Every structure is written in C-alpha cells, then in structure tokens.
Amino acid sequence: MLQLEKMLTKRRIFLGSIACILCLILYKGSEEKNTEPLKEAVLPAQVLARLLQAQMHETEIILRGTAVSWRKVTLCSRTSGTVTEILADRGVSVQKADPIVVLSSDDRQEK
C-alpha cells in the first residue's frame, strides 16, 4: 500500500512538472507574438447599456389536479341500524376509537 502511494506521488509530481513546462512554452510563445508593433489602429469597443431596477414579484405556482389518498379503508359496523348523524367528513383523518357515525337507538335495545 505504501509503495502504491509513493508511485502515485511520483506520477503526480511528474505530470505537474510537465504541465508547468507546457505553460512556460505557451507563455513564451505568446510573448514573442505580442512584441510586434500594431499595424492597424484598434477601435474602442462599443457597449450598449441599460439601467435596470429590481422589482418585487410573487413566487406562486398554480397547479390543478387531484390528490389521491395513501390508503383506502372500508368501514363495516358490528350492529345494524339507521345512521342518524355523520360525525366525520369524507377524507378526514380519524384516530382509533373516534366516533364516525351515530346510529339510531330505535330497536337496538331489543336486539
């Protein structure tokens, strides 16, 4: 493992020195080209400018669609009877033992 690390370090040093030599060659080459006097007059660059001001805007995205519940539950009663009142709306989360409907007590005592 130690030998592999030494070999990789030597390779990095070698590649780094080659990169430095190439940079020096390119730099020297560009200096030689720039030593010639300019034969043509260089015109100043033309710039188009515009004054801008920041404006407040609302980041609001309107999406249309339907939501799908994570799970569906079928309710069934232990006793029969007529529903007199619905306590929980459709799609509302309920906890265990929460009343959902109220059954009429017409003849439940007799049954």
pLDDT at 63: 81
Residue with the larger pLDDT of the pair 5 and 111: 5
Residue 39, pLDDT above cutoff 80: no
Let me know: does 99 contact 87? Beta carbons within 8 Å.
yes
Residue 32, pLDDT above cutoff 60: no
Under DSSP, is residue 86 helix (H, G, I), strand (E, B) or coil? strand
Q: How confident is the model at residue 9 (pLDDT cuts 50, 70, 90)?
A: confident
Phi, psi of 22 (to 5 degrees): -65, -40
* Measured distance CA(106)–CA(109) in Å, rounded: 8
Report the predicted TM-score, pTM, of the whole model to 2 decimal places.
0.31
DSSP state at residue 43? P
Tokens representing residue 41 in the block? 């007059």
Residue with the larger pLDDT of the pair 54 and 79: 54
Under DSSP, is residue 73 helix (H, G, I), strand (E, B) or coil? coil
pLDDT tens digits, 72-82: 777 777 777 78
pLDDT at 1: 63
pLDDT at 10: 86
* Measured distance CA(34)–CA(32) in Å, rounded: 5
